[in-house]
């Protein structure tokens, strides 16, 4: 039978925090277990994960492999058909220059891509570098002139 008197604490003992720098006789005094001199003895020092005690680091021995095209990519600015419908009037030309004039584009661009979200009710002329499939289908149905430019 279980009684209050027979209960015992079965939880794990809490590990006490080491109190360093409390005198030489404490076992962790004077240099506070940091040794003498060197960068490890200074405040604010933390060992880097990749540090290997002064030896040449393993990750630095491995060759850099492959090629990334990121430096040479030419990103295109995109605009949807419903945005064109909101910004332009009948008979206008949709191009990078006119989009910058209207304040739609701010920075330097390598080209314009037309996306097919929404519908286009106005008769405009489009000068772009690329078209999405849905945009191409919708523009063909609406019988709108599209001039494809090179990047």
SS3 content of the chain, % helix, strand, coil (to 5): 25, 15, 60
Phi, psi of 4 (to 5 degrees): -60, -35
**Predicted pLDDT at 90:** 93
- The answer to whether residue 60 scores a pLDDT higher than 80 is yes
If you write DSSP's letter for every residue of 69-116 in order, what string do you get?
-GGG--PPEEEEHHHHHHH--TT-EESHHHHHHTTS--S--S-EEEE-
Q: Does 116 have pLDDT greater than 90?
A: yes
pLDDT at 134: 95
Q: φ and ψ at 15, to 5 degrees?
A: -80, 130
Contact 151, 74 (CB under 8 A): yes
- Better-scored residue on pLDDT, 72 or 151: 72
Mean pLDDT computed over 51-74 = 88
Percent of the chain exceeding pLDDT 90 equals 48
Residue that the structure tokens 């739609």 belong to: 104
Is the model's pLDDT at 107 over the cut of 90? no
CA distance linking residue 72 with residue 77, whole number of Å: 16
Q: 67-86 pLDDT, tens per residue?
A: 888 889 888 999 999 999 99
Domains in the chain, CATH or no CATH each: 19-66 (no CATH), 74-148 (3.100.10.10)
């Amino acid at each position: 039978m279980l009684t209050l008197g027979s209960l015992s604490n079965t939880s794990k003992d809490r590990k006490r925090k080491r109190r360093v720098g409390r005198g030489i006789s404490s076992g962790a005094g004077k240099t506070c277990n940091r040794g003498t001199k060197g960068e490890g003895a200074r405040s604010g020092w933390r060992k880097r994960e990749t540090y290997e005690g002064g030896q040449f680091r393993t990750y630095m021995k491995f060759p850099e492999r492959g090629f990334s095209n990121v430096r040479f990519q030419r990103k295109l600015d995109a605009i949807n058909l419903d945005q064109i419908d909101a910004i332009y009037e009948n008979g206008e030309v949709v191009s990078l220059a006119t989009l910058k004039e209207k304040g739609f584009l701010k920075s330097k661009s390598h080209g314009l891509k037309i996306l097919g979200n929404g519908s286009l009710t106005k008769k405009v002329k489009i000068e772009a570098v690329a078209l999405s499939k849905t945009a191409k289908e919708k523009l063909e149905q609406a019988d709108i002139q599209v001039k494809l430019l090179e990047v």
